[in-house]
Amino acid sequence: MSSAKTRAPKSRPVEFALAPVDNTLLANLCGPLDENIRQIETGFDVIIRRRSERFSVTGEQAQLTADAIRHFYAMARQPLSVDDIQLGLVELTNAPVRRIGNGDKLTDGPQLVTRKTELHGRTPRQVEYLKAIQEHDITFGIGPAGTGKTYLAVASAVDAFERDLVQRIILTRPAVEAGERLGFLPGDLTQKIDPYLRPLYDALYDLMGADRVAKLYEKRAIEIAPLAFMRGRTLNHAFIILDEAQNTTPEQMKMFLTRIGIGAKAVVTGDVTQIDLPKGHKSGLKEAMEVLRDVRGLAFTEFRKEDVVRHPLVARIVEAYEKRSQQSS
């Protein structure tokens, strides 16, 4: 018995049949060995039983699940991958009910110019975040892991670069030790800090392709460096992203924000629940949220667990930790 089946609440099932009946669409919807159905079951925490085109759904979100299955069925002219299902679940969970079930693309907000042709905000806060980045010179994206803070910031940087709105992309993050000591890692300084910057490389490779990133890196149109390397510089006509900003000190945050030059745009991302600074050190991101909240020209987007765009279980994991944190505080 699956874990979803043991957790799903007892209630009257919602029963329905997909129409018109098309075995190809049905196979594309369900995926190999009904893997897509299991993803939907996990995402909504329900029990799904199927016999051919007939479905029975039990759980608190049974009706929403039925609407989602109809929506995916309308989209199933081509085989649906697990990624299609997981990303679709995020959109459907955050979309108005009237938009569910017709198979239309749930796209809102800015469309970004990257290698990923259908990249867009998948939740209302992601759309708000993308708009804020386009409309403000400095934007803060704050929230739990998996909400797209860094990825959408890098996508916005790539979009601005491709549209010739900036001349270079600069990505930085503090090299703060999270349970491991830099001195014990092998290699020279560059090799020691590379693992801390790897998520930024991965996002760029996904959005631009590894070959193009390598060429732009050689031309210094793309720069990825630890935050300490930003001191003393003035960054003009650049799109600058400070990632993992919860691990900056107040002094580092002030230093970074005062590097912003003419024609530049900056995005600061972080999760204030995952601070790895030594005990007794205040987070620069926390202080910035207090000090800069009312400064004109800055924007703050605060993500929640509902904005998690990863495996359906991630949002539930974030929620469980939040509950434990509230109980212990």
Closest to 317 (Cα-Cα) out of 145, 98, 106, 76: 145
Identify the pLDDT of residue 182: 47
Mean pLDDT computed over 18-32: 93
pLDDT tens for residues 226-273?
888 888 888 899 999 999 999 999 999 999 999 999 999 999 999 998
Q: What does pLDDT average to over the chain?
A: 84
- The band of 315, judged by pLDDT with boundaries at 50, 70 and 90, is low
Residue 106 reports pLDDT greater than 80: no
Closest to 303 (Cα-Cα) out of 324, 323, 318: 318
- Token couple for 157: 């940087």
Mean pLDDT computed over 87-105: 58
Identify the pLDDT of residue 178: 44
Residue 214 reports pLDDT greater than 90: yes
pTM of the entire predicted model: 0.70
Closest to 64 (Cα-Cα) out of 104, 16, 28: 16
- The band of 1, judged by pLDDT with boundaries at 50, 70 and 90, is very low
Mean pLDDT computed over 197-215: 90
- The band of 204, judged by pLDDT with boundaries at 50, 70 and 90, is very high
Identify the pLDDT of residue 190: 56
Mean pLDDT computed over 297-318: 81
Identify the pLDDT of residue 94: 65
- Token couple for 35: 């893997």
With pLDDT > 70 as the criterion, what percentage of the chain qualifies? 84
**Cβ distance 198 to 252 under 8 Å?**
no
pLDDT tens for residues 174-199?
876 444 444 554 555 556 567 777 88
Q: Which of 171-175, 213-217, 317-321 has the lowest mean pLDDT?
A: 317-321
- The band of 279, judged by pLDDT with boundaries at 50, 70 and 90, is confident
Ordered structural domains, the chain, with CATH: 3-99 (3.30.1370.10), 124-328 (3.40.50.300)
Q: In DSSP terms, which residues pair with 56 in a beta bridge?
A: 15, 49
Identify the pLDDT of residue 232: 83
232 exposure class (CB count in 10 Å sphere: 0-12, 13-18, 19+):
exposed
Sequence-ordered strand ranges (E) for the chain: 14-17, 47-51, 54-58, 138-142, 168-173, 222-226, 238-242, 265-270, 298-302
Q: What is the dihedral angle through the alpha carbons of 317, 321, 324, 328, rounded to the nearest 10 degrees?
A: 170
